[in-house]
Amino acid sequence: MSILPPPHPAAWTEALRPALDEAVAAAVAAESPFPNDIAAHIVGGHFEGPPHNEIIGPVSPRGAPNGLVLKRGKVVARWGDTRQQDMTFSVAKSYLSLLAGLAVGDGLIRDLDAPVSDSVDDPAFASERNRLVTWRMLLSQTSEWEGTLFGKADAIDRGRDLAAEGRDKAMARPLKAPGTYWEYNDVRVNALSLGLLHLFRKPLPQVFAERIMNPIGASRDWRWEGYRTSWIEIDGQKMQSVSGGGHWGGGLVIHAEDQARIGLLMAGDGAWDGRRLLPAGWVRASLTPVELNASYGLLWWLNGAGRYPSLPRSSYFALGAGGNVTWVEPELDVVAVFRWLAPAQMDAVLAKFLPGLA
């Protein structure tokens, strides 16, 4: 994490490299098996079967594969329509991590190891078990939070195997003590989002726009939505708690160019064009491996343990279902976004770009 911010990150410049043409062709050919009709895919049981597959948030069909690669802040490869607005699924989790960083910098979270219930008054954190859940546990997916939130029970995602989506889950798995078990669980991430909404006391998309997206020169085309069931009242105002994915609809709809800017912000250690947006040390904390999963940080995927064996160990990622990938490679000064890339081919396809990026 010694990479410096791009010299002029707000100015998009291109220096396309013919040496990457073959890799781009491979990315285009490795299209995700996700069908265009995402709603039908969800209802058809990709994530889980009925009745747990009920869609409760907006869902939009997906477009064609696209993406771009930046080297030292310049676009060196581009394919497809990189301004195509698409669902990103769990990439939104990594963006919740950015919001948590803002909360730390603002003093709203004074200690990641403090229970959420110390600063958030909500039934979601009131039970004997959930009162023990800390911010770090939620950010690292180790909370073992228990309950039903916005109509979805945490048990839906118990026993979830990301390599085998669509298969039955071990929903009867006994819970462990909070902080002692790692599990990828969308309901628990939604609990984190709810907690952050209580801290900021304004809709998280508004905070994200004002504090992240506008300063980095992102478009205003993106949207971040929750569920029809996730409206709450704060200070007399109705606010929607947004989701950390599109598992049951909702989530973040965004294009590749805006995602690349967020990748550049991470690569620049949370600073943009000389202005610090994320508190010092937050990126480093986000990329520190969780003790219970060496391939995971604070809602960012890491490669230090060789999850993707063909890629440098310094690489890290924001990943979403269907093949939505933001790849940051600090040693090569590279940020890349791939939309609708077959997950099974991700390691091989990204590796094809390495020779042309040296």
Residue 228: closest CA among 56, 84, 90, 45? 56
- At 15 the pLDDT is 85
Interacting residues of 337 by C-beta distance below 8 A, sequence separation 6+: 67, 68, 82, 256, 257, 259, 260, 263, 325, 326, 327
Nearest to 198 by CA among 282, 99, 77, 345: 99
**Number of other residues whose CB lies within 10 A of the CB of residue 71:** 22
The CA radius of gyration of the chain, in Å to the nearest whole number, is: 19
215, 200, 202, 203: which is closest to 262 by C-alpha? Answer: 215
How far apart are the C-alpha atoms of 355 and 358, rounded to whole Å? Answer: 6
Residue 51 exposed, middle or buried by CB count within 10 Å (0-12, 13-18, 19+):
exposed
What pLDDT is attached to residue 7?
A: 39
Q: To which H or E segment does residue 95 belong?
A: helix 91-105
CA distance 321 to 349: 17
Compute how many other C-beta atoms are within 10 angstroms of the C-beta atom of residue 107. 8
Task: Write the CA distances from 255 to 6, 87, 151, 208, 330, integer angstroms.
Answer: 20, 9, 29, 16, 22
What pLDDT does 145 receive?
A: 98
Residue 168's pLDDT is 55
| 233, β-bridge pairs | 238
pLDDT (0 to 100) of residue 157: 87
Spans in the chain with pLDDT lower than 50: 1-10
Q: Where are the beta strands (DSSP E) in 111-180?
A: 148-149, 152-153
User: Would you say 36 and 291 are in contact if contact means Cβ atoms under 8 Å apart?
Assistant: no
Strands 237-242 and 223-234: antiparallel
CB 80 within 8 A of CB 323: no
For helices 346-357 and 21-29, angle between their N-to-C axes, nearest 10 degrees: 170
